[in-house]
Amino acid sequence: MSHDHSHDHDHSELSEIELRVRALETLLTDKGYIDPPALDELIETYETKIGPKNGARVVAKAWSDPDYLDRLRRDATAAIAEFGFTGRQGEHMVIAENTEDTHNMVVCTLCSCYPWTVLGLPPVWYKSAPYRSRAVRDPRGVLAEFGVTLPEDKEIRVWDSTAEVRYLVIPERPTGTEDWPEEKLAELVTRDSMIGTGLALNPATLEVSS
């Protein structure tokens, strides 16, 4: 997209950062470093194709298929690639399984590392200073703000993702879902439950709403 930004009305309507991004985009486009249709394609991809529904399918299969869970444990990158979820910010995947004794939670204290291939782009809170500073020191306090209270004797295992390894939390499978098909199970898997700031939905809430 080409911009005409020498007019005063731009300055009266656009914020400093809007002008700054617009100027940079115009300059990089004029220099030929970037191709505007590719920018639109990048945005479209993360708006419509890559998001937490990918991860929910992985979790639902892990819950239903012991062989698949075994493949995830041995090589999560390859097992997740079976769905076609590969590449940027998912090059090296590892799963962290919640159990009766252990709850897993993921943070990147140094920036915003996040498994894009299975969860899409991270929410603002994940990238924010309050979450990044507190998740490693006071995870129970953080969980309380998300409305999650865990038994005091449950281990909380926090993963600080400093490298290119990306973690996908496999939440505990809710009871009462033993005969559910994968597609229906996936509806119980929220984005937050795969970061560890939430739990899988209660099946009763789903049955009421569907």
When the beta carbons of 65 and 128 are compared against other proteins, the nearer one is 128
Residue corresponding to tokens 């911009």: 3
Tell me whether residue 161 is one of the annotated catalytic residues: no
Say if CB 169 and CB 106 are below 8 A apart.
yes
Catalytic one among 113, 133, 193, 210? Answer: 113
When the beta carbons of 159 and 180 are compared against other proteins, the nearer one is 159
Please report whether residue 78 would count as binding other proteins according to CB under 8 A: no
CB atoms near residue 196 (< 10 Å)? 29
Dihedral sign, Cα of residue 78, residue 85, residue 116, residue 57? negative
Say if CB 64 and CB 56 are below 8 A apart.
no
How many Cα neighbours within 13 Å face the side chain of 158? 18
When the beta carbons of 111 and 204 are compared against other proteins, the nearer one is 111
Tell me whether residue 6 is one of the annotated catalytic residues: no
Strands 92-97 and 165-170: parallel
Task: Please state the closest distance from residue 92 (CB atom) to other proteins, in A.
Answer: 7
Distance CA 99, CA 190 (A): 17
Over the window 94 to 123, marking each residue x when it contacts other proteins by CB under 8 A and - when it does not, the resulting string is x------------x-xxxx----x--xx-x
Catalytic one among 2, 12, 108, 210? Answer: 108
Tell me whether residue 113 is one of the annotated catalytic residues: yes
Tell me whether residue 15 is one of the annotated catalytic residues: no
Over the window 123 to 162, marking each residue x when it contacts other proteins by CB under 8 A and - when it does not, the resulting string is xxx-xxxxxxxx-xxxxx-x--xx-----xxxxxxxxxxx
Catalytic one among 12, 15, 112, 210? Answer: 112
Say if CB 102 and CB 72 are below 8 A apart.
no
Number of residues that bind other proteins (CB under 8 A): 80
- Would you call 156 exposed, middle or buried from its count of C-beta atoms within 10 A (0-12, 13-18, 19+)? middle
41-70 residues in contact with other proteins (CB under 8 A) are 41-43, 45-47, 50
Q: State the catalytic residues.
A: 108, 111-113
